[in-house]
Structure 1
Amino acid sequence: MTGKPGYFLTRTPMIAAAVLGVWAFSATAQTTTATDTDTDTGAAQVDVAPDSITPAVLKQADILLWKQPGPTARLQARGVLEIAAADGNPEAQLILGRHLLHGWILERNVARGIALLEQAVAAGHAGAQVELGQAVLSGNGMDADPERAQALLEQAVSQGNRDAMRVLGKQLVGGWDLTRDVERGRALLDKAIAEGDEKARVARGELMLYGIGLEQDRARALELFEAAAENGNGEGLAIYGEDLMWSLRDWSRAEAMLTRAAELGATEAWVTLAHGAMYGYLGGGRRSRAKFDGFAEKAHAAGEEGIAALEATRNMWGINMRASGPETIARLRKDADAGNAAAARFLIGLLRDGNGLNLRRRPEDAAEALETYRDLFDEKTVAQLEITLAAAKAWVPKAWAEVAEAYAARPDLKSIWFGKELYKANENVAFYILQQRFREEGLYRGPINGYATRSTLRATNIACRTLDKTAACYDSVMRPDVIGALLAQ
């Protein structure tokens, strides 16, 4: 589920206007029609004095947008933000810039979103420093720039911003996008925890659970997760419960913990429970699979888009139902047509790769689906999917080299998910890229040919030991999760 605030606000435009307390549908505010909107901003021309727009009004405008109201109320709320942002209000610049950068509710406009965030940063707004810092770190709408990202986060930390402490602290301990500095990162996380940031408590617990940067300590991790839960944050319980479930340590305890997490608001745990139920991890066999529908229903009620992919998977393999490839595709298209991005992404991957049973590879159909549903994705996801589609169509070493070159040109796209998708689309392309890197690192001296030769697998095995989670290395390095993680380095 996306990280949308769980605010309550009526959806009707008339009451929304009253709540915002700034405009009314009268002579002082124009009625929203096709001629009443600014064509550059898509906002209603609201007749409001900038000095009457208080922090409370900005907060309510943001709340209203998160509730995804009808067109009239949405344009009115944006109109207030536009007025305040144009008047130099950094809080309005942050709110509007964030919405435009991500395109959650308003139509995405990356360039303008970044420009607004830059204005708020120039005014010294700590929240904008965190928002822009994370965008720069991940390369969201721009080239990734870890050095600038850290500088922005440090600025926010110097103003006492807890979100900055958490984000920077976790990155410094993990060492993913920033140079690892465990002592500094741990200190930042501890400071955020001391100041009441439960998300920082969860972040520190997760690092300890998996032994990432910090010494592995499952008992201490659980203590941190339970403390966060006592203060209303179930995210840590969701992390621990999922690990407990997949490791087959104690399925009943895992189920109880994930249920608690979901009831505390970490509703992605319903999807995790459905996933475990489907594959027999909650009591085994028929007993476990019988629980799927109940968890799926709760996931749907919570707005968790990921459940659509699980339902399609069950349909595809015939888990407690008749297996049907065509029905699976039809199910995913229906969900994607309804605006479910997770379903659209799963559909594209399935059309691209097939499943070796009742669905054949159809890269051209996958490309067509990407064009159909591209508005559901951000620019980064579209670029990632386009490269995987190019990989799926590459059959000879020359074509593998071309895809590898396109991959190297976009380091901002790297992620474990992207690496896994690239490997599933074309194993040869994935190994071609890894062979290039292993040669640069002195791990491999063979030809760059994209084949999983003995020397290639030996280098892959050595590189695998540098990952945060190395257990899979002792199974087989020719796994999507292993290759994906190596490609993400």
Structure 2
Amino acid sequence: MLASPFFRKVLLVTSLAVFAGTVSGSALLANSSEVDRAEKLIWGSGSEARPVEGRQALEEAVAVKDASAQRVLGMHLIYGWVFEKDVHKGMLLLNDAANAGDPVAQFNLGQILLVGTTGSKDVARARILLEDASRQNEIQAMRVLGEQLVLGTVYAQELKTGLTLLKQSAELGDIRAEIVLGDLYLKGKGVPRDLSKALGFFESAATKGDGSGLASYGETLMWGEIDAKTTEQMLNRAAALGETSAYVTLAEGAMYGYLGGGAVSRAKYEGYAELAREAEEPRIEVLEANRSMWGIGKRASGPETIGLLTAHADAGNKAAAEFLIKLLRDGNGLNVRRDLAAADQALKTYAELLTARDVAKFELTLKAASARTSDVFARVATEIEAQPDLMSFGFGKDLYKANPNIAFFILQTRLKDQGDYGGSLNGFATRSTLRAVYKACQRLPDNTLCDDSVMRSDVIAMLLAQNSEAK
């Protein structure tokens, strides 16, 4: 694992000193006002947009090796915000800007390579880029690398260095770093759980206008049944700061009796549901479908649930479309049966609401759901492993729900390759399989759930995502 002398000394150099020492006389010192002018032309800031002129200005700046222009045009071409996508050219430009020492380009390229956004995943180079950007006090790079070093998923855990990076990022003005720190302590991810520390970071972020931490903290209090009154107040504060998803959380808590218990809690549902709709929070319709599916405050009906979700998906609600596809793929064991053909048709119908990445994940889980024999398990598992950039904790949970045999087949294969499993590759949770999975679980940064059951979907998902990221 890469570890520079700089990180062993834990970020003691200021950005200006490093900047002067590493890029003296470079293209970074080119006229950034020209790049700003080009961006205004592209987006139409204060006037009508003139993207052709804006691009021409960027191209002219790129021709004289202006790193800022290379980075801006590169990002435009990678993501296709205004111009037609050209990922190859965009990555070349972004790479040139990063090599020239542009810290924002180093962060952007590092993040792309860390996640595999463009299909190119290189976690070793990503770390080098994020370290280089952090040397120049690029606060986003500090936050991203700091979080990874605390979690110990992609890289070996370096808790002290990771926390130092996150705290320095926060001190330099990165509100998101405060939210990340609060979330780590709230959930005990990489660090011991400490609600007091979590709340301190969230309150600090709230004073700067970010209520997302309060929303997370309030939700944790609610599901933990810790002080319903404080929970409600905190979630309402979060919503007032613009985190209107808190209204959905409040509606859900009211529905299940977590806001004062029984009839008192349920009576609050409609009010919070209406606030969520006024804020155009799409997940409220998924919540309403759950009420219909499980018969909460109304008669349970599978067909009505499918009808509600279909109507909202037809109206362009992405959350409803995703929930509908998953429900048809998996069924609910009560009043909605698994219907893979209907799930496949729903995916085709609502594909335009989803990202290409979403569609690819759904296609793989639908293939997994239809697999019944070891040879098919192997084919589907191979296809999944060929696309490691798609693997995430959420995808791992969906895959396990769609077909646990596929998930176990993948883990058996990986553990066999590592010399930790000597049994058959069959996708079944045999005794030897579970022993090997348990040992792998014990090596996770967060292994608190291992002794409960390694057949939990969240444990399997952590193993799938962690092993994939480590490749």
What TM bracket, shorter-length normalisation?
0.7 to 0.9
Letter in 1 for 2:354: F
Q: Is the 8 A contact 1:81 1:96 kept in 2?
A: no
Q: Does 1:424 align with 2:401?
A: yes
Q: Specify the SS of the correspondent of 1:144.
A: coil
Structure 2 equivalent of residue 5 of structure 1: none
- Which segments of 5 or more consecutive residues in structure 2 lack a partner in the other structure? 1-30, 467-471
Structure 2 equivalent of residue 345 of structure 1: 322
Structure 2 equivalent of residue 387 of structure 1: 364
Letter in 1 for 2:216: I
Q: Does 1:58 align with 2:39?
A: yes
Letter in 1 for 2:147: K
Q: CA deviation at 1:366?
A: 1.7
Structure 2 equivalent of residue 308 of structure 1: 285
Q: CA deviation at 1:108?
A: 6.5
Q: 1:257-316, CA deviations, whole angstroms, 9 ceiling, x for partnerless residues? A: 222122222333223323333332222333333333333333333343333322222222
Structure 2 equivalent of residue 41 of structure 1: none
CA distance 1:275–1:172, shift in 2 (3 Å) = same
Match of 1:85 among 30, 47, 58: 58
Q: 1:125-184, CA deviations, whole angstroms, 9 ceiling, x for partnerless residues? A: 332332232122111121321112222222322332111111111111112223322222
Q: Following the alignment from structure 2 to structure 1, what is the Cα–Cα distance between the partners of residues 81 and 309?
A: 21
Letter in 2 for 1:135: I
Q: 1:302-346, CA deviations, whole angstroms, 9 ceiling, x for partnerless residues? A: 343333322222222222233332332233233333333322222
Letter in 1 for 2:192: E
Q: Following the alignment from structure 1 to structure 2, what is the Cα–Cα distance between the partners of residues 113 and 302?
A: 36
Q: Following the alignment from structure 2 to structure 1, what is the Cα–Cα distance between the partners of residues 383 and 330?
A: 20
Letter in 1 for 2:302: G
Q: Following the alignment from structure 1 to structure 2, what is the Cα–Cα distance between the partners of residues 311 and 464?
A: 36
Q: Specify the SS of the correspondent of 1:189.
A: helix
Structure 2 equivalent of residue 319 of structure 1: 296
Q: CA deviation at 1:458?
A: 3.8
- What are the residue-to-residue correspondences of 1:203-218 with 2, within 5 Å? 203-218=180-195
Q: Specify the SS of the correspondent of 1:266.
A: coil
Q: Following the alignment from structure 1 to structure 2, what is the Cα–Cα distance between the partners of residues 285 and 60?
A: 57
Match of 1:451 among 419, 428, 448: 428
Q: CA deviation at 1:393?
A: 1.0
Letter in 2 for 1:159: Q
Match of 2:264 among 287, 293, 298: 287
Letter in 2 for 1:437: R
CA distance 1:103–1:466, shift in 2 (3 Å) = farther
Letter in 1 for 2:387: R
CA distance 1:196–1:470, shift in 2 (3 Å) = same
Q: CA deviation at 1:427?
A: 1.5
Structure 2 equivalent of residue 6 of structure 1: none
Q: Is the 8 A contact 2:294 2:300 kept in 1?
A: yes
CA distance 1:476–1:330, shift in 2 (3 Å) = same
CA distance 1:107–1:308, shift in 2 (3 Å) = farther
Q: Following the alignment from structure 1 to structure 2, what is the Cα–Cα distance between the partners of residues 83 and 167?
A: 33
Q: Following the alignment from structure 1 to structure 2, what is the Cα–Cα distance between the partners of residues 314 and 233?
A: 31
CA distance 1:84–1:251, shift in 2 (3 Å) = farther
Q: CA deviation at 1:398?
A: 1.1
Q: Specify the SS of the correspondent of 2:243.
A: coil
Match of 1:401 among 375, 378, 400: 378
Structure 2 equivalent of residue 234 of structure 1: 211
Q: CA deviation at 1:425?
A: 0.6
- Which moved further from structure 2: 378-387 or 412-421? 378-387
Q: Is the 8 A contact 1:208 1:215 kept in 2?
A: yes
Q: Following the alignment from structure 1 to structure 2, what is the Cα–Cα distance between the partners of residues 109 and 259?
A: 44
Q: Specify the SS of the correspondent of 1:87.
A: helix
Letter in 2 for 1:386: E
Q: CA deviation at 1:63?
A: 8.2
Match of 2:201 among 216, 224, 228: 224
Q: Following the alignment from structure 1 to structure 2, what is the Cα–Cα distance between the partners of residues 337 and 80?
A: 39
Structure 2 equivalent of residue 437 of structure 1: 414
Q: CA deviation at 1:221?
A: 2.0
Structure 2 equivalent of residue 336 of structure 1: 313
Q: CA deviation at 1:94?
A: 4.9
Q: CA deviation at 1:107?
A: 7.5
- Which moved further from structure 2: 50-59 or 177-186? 50-59
**What is the alpha-carbon root mean square deviation over aligned residues?**
3.2
Q: CA deviation at 1:54?
A: 6.2
Structure 1 equivalent of residue 12 of structure 2: none
CA distance 1:418–1:473, shift in 2 (3 Å) = same
Matched residues, percent identical? 50
Q: Is the 8 A contact 2:185 2:191 kept in 1?
A: yes
Q: CA deviation at 1:392?
A: 0.8
Structure 1 equivalent of residue 11 of structure 2: none
- Which moved further from structure 2: 241-250 or 115-124? 115-124
Structure 2 equivalent of residue 4 of structure 1: none
Structure 2 equivalent of residue 34 of structure 1: none
CA distance 1:467–1:103, shift in 2 (3 Å) = farther
Q: Is the 8 A contact 1:102 1:108 kept in 2?
A: yes
Q: Specify the SS of the correspondent of 2:127.
A: helix
Q: Name the TM-score, length of structure 2 as normaliser.
A: 0.81
CA distance 1:348–1:282, shift in 2 (3 Å) = same
Structure 1 equivalent of residue 116 of structure 2: 139
Q: Specify the SS of the correspondent of 1:282.
A: coil
